[in-house]
Amino acid sequence: ASVFKVLNVAEKNDAAKRISDILSGHQYQVRNGLSRFNKIYEFNYYMLGQNCSISFTSLSGHLLNYDFTGIYRKWYSCHPLSLFDVAVEKNVTENMVDIKRTLEREVRNSQALVIWTDCDREGENIGFEIINICRNIKSNIPVYRARFSEITDRSIKSACNNLQQPDQRVSDAVDVRQELDLRIGAAFTRFQTLRLQKVFPNTLADKLISYGSCQFPTLGFVVERYKAREQFQPEDFWKIEGQYFFWRGWRVCKSNNSINVPILNDICFRHFLKTAVVHTITQNEADGPITSTFSWKRNRLFNELACQVLYANCLGDAGCCHGNQREHRWRPLAMDTVELEKLASRKLRINAKETMKIAESLYTQGYISYPRTETNSFPKDFNLERLVQEQTSHPDWGGFASRLLGLNGGPQPRNGHKSDQAHPPIHPTKAAPHLTGNNARIYELITRHFLACCHRDAKGQETSVEIEVGGESFSVQGLMIIERNYLEVYHYDRWNGKIIAVYEIGDQFEPTDVRMTSGRTTAPSLTEADLISLMDKHGIGTDATHAEHIETIKQRMYVGLTNDQRFLPGELGMGLVEGYDLMGYAMSRPELRAELEADLRRICDGTANKNDVLQRHISTYRSVFQEAIQKADKLDEALSAYFGDATRVE
């Protein structure tokens, strides 16, 4: 009987090699494909209900890209407005021709095709590129889709045993996005570049001035925050603070209605109590005084005279005590991509592009789950114990992992409410003792976050005490941590104890010190983590593309970074945003792109038609483009503020 041959295709060579290693039990053979970067791994494996001869090869990302047909690819071939209507086609990119030829050669002798691309929108679309190329050679070949969220023995073998069908609707959504990005981007880029090169020949003659429906709103956020900072006028303000001094080693009698304030080493405050009964006074001067500073409920006033009047009312008056408590510090939610990017930026000072590059490498090596996910909730049947067990031998957090397994009920994650129905939250899949540099730091962040998420909230007695003095309200918080729980492993969070006195509800006492202080307001700024939060909030791009769009506006020199890693728009970026604002169009605002992203999700879930969405958005942007041409002098006007006098063009 002839051998049943199955062609398997992954998105990258590293993934093909790793999956082949798992399925073959390290017994695969290697031969060259027509692309020297994409090998073919061969072995035998039981699949599709029979023993199969497996060939496993790969791509290097997208094989095909949309482009205009014929002469319309040339910049001077037509008016840019025509680009909203002329025909487009998908072509093999020049550096992918050898990979395409490899697929065509290998599929001729295969009886089935299995797609192993990443299980997200882009991966599904790449999968259909493979399918179309292979079916052009063998039209009736059966096609299957392997779905997996991590490259581990368990996950890969499970995917083999549960092969599914590829999802055409998800691929359609990517086709719509790609075609719109081509038409909109090409039309506005040609219009901007060709016009501004003539209007500012001394400074922009050789400059490509690109437009993208994601990069421009991203740029808009930077410009908006920069302008808020530039227009910011610092203001002097005044505030009132109340202070009380006390010593360790004093005791105070508490009545039944007292606030259960944390007491460390029998703490008591030294003030002039008028109602409490003090006894067993054993002051230890060596302990020294401790200060409770009460914050003013008004926070601050911008009128010095008004503050002085209220301050005068507080002097010499007695305070009346009220209070409340809270006892939890919440552990982190299960990690999605946006949270990974923000935490890496804030806590590790690693930018989003580098973070995702490292995360994808860790995923391909089988150390973490798929890092591009919108999910922050683990399924109920998820085997958390196995994942925690993998970490018990680690020298830094192994003990914590062991204690987590010993908890009553075992690991119980704090889940959010988001799910992309494709991948679980980001988590470690196995121990990684030999990683170094930023690879180790990203892996550590993911692992500590996962263990913390699965533990318990920190518990403490955090007391908020409020007093009224001279008709003004003040408050102070004190904390005694009872159970650190997740904080033992998650050193990215801080919850530090703060000693305050024992206060009784209804206590009357005079402040030890009341003072009026002053300060100045500070301007807002924008970090990468702030920018990612804005993009996520307003629906600009997806969890998979935030880092890419940020990198694009940096490469185009539309924005730069200050020494403390805060975004600053360049002259060209400022001028472009201001120019479109002068035209009256919100091209740098997020609404247009957010509407598209919402429509793409509807295509994926089957509630919107691919062609309807495509034509509606083409029509919207065409109308905007037509009016932009009529008001192009507004763009000239805005940029002349940065590049000098504009040369008049018709």
| Sequence-ordered alpha helix ranges (H) in 365-471 | 384-389, 398-406, 437-454
CA geometry: angle at 172 spanning 169 and 176, to 5°? 145
**Contact yes or no for 37/101 (Cβ under 8 A):** no
Contacts of 361-366 with CB under 8 Å at 24 or more apart are 361/14, 361/439, 362/432, 362/439, 362/442, 362/443, 362/446, 363/150, 363/151, 364/12, 364/14, 364/15, 364/18, 364/151, 365/14, 365/18, 365/151, 366/18, 366/150, 366/151, 366/152, 366/429, 366/430
Residues 6+ apart with CB under 8 A from 601: 173
H or E element at residue 121? helix 121-137
Is 370 annotated as catalytic?
yes
Handedness of CA 523, 590, 80, 648 (dihedral sign): negative
CA distance 546 to 540: 8
Q: Determine which one of 370, 486, 503, 580 is catalytic.
A: 370
Handedness of CA 39, 44, 45, 47 (dihedral sign): positive
Q: What are φ and ψ of residue 580, in 5° steps?
A: -70, -30
Handedness of CA 2, 137, 140, 121 (dihedral sign): positive
Q: What are φ and ψ of residue 611, in 5° steps?
A: -70, -35
Residues 6+ apart with CB under 8 A from 17: 39, 41
Cβ neighbours, 10 Å, residue 107: 23
Nearest Cα residue to 292 out of 154, 460, 141, 474 = 474
Nearest Cα residue to 44 out of 31, 53, 32, 34 = 53
| Sequence-ordered alpha helix ranges (H) in 435-563 | 437-454, 528-538, 546-555
| β-bridge pairing 236-248 and 513-520 | antiparallel
Report how far apart the first and last C-alpha atoms of the chain are (Å, whole number): 75
List active site positions.
370
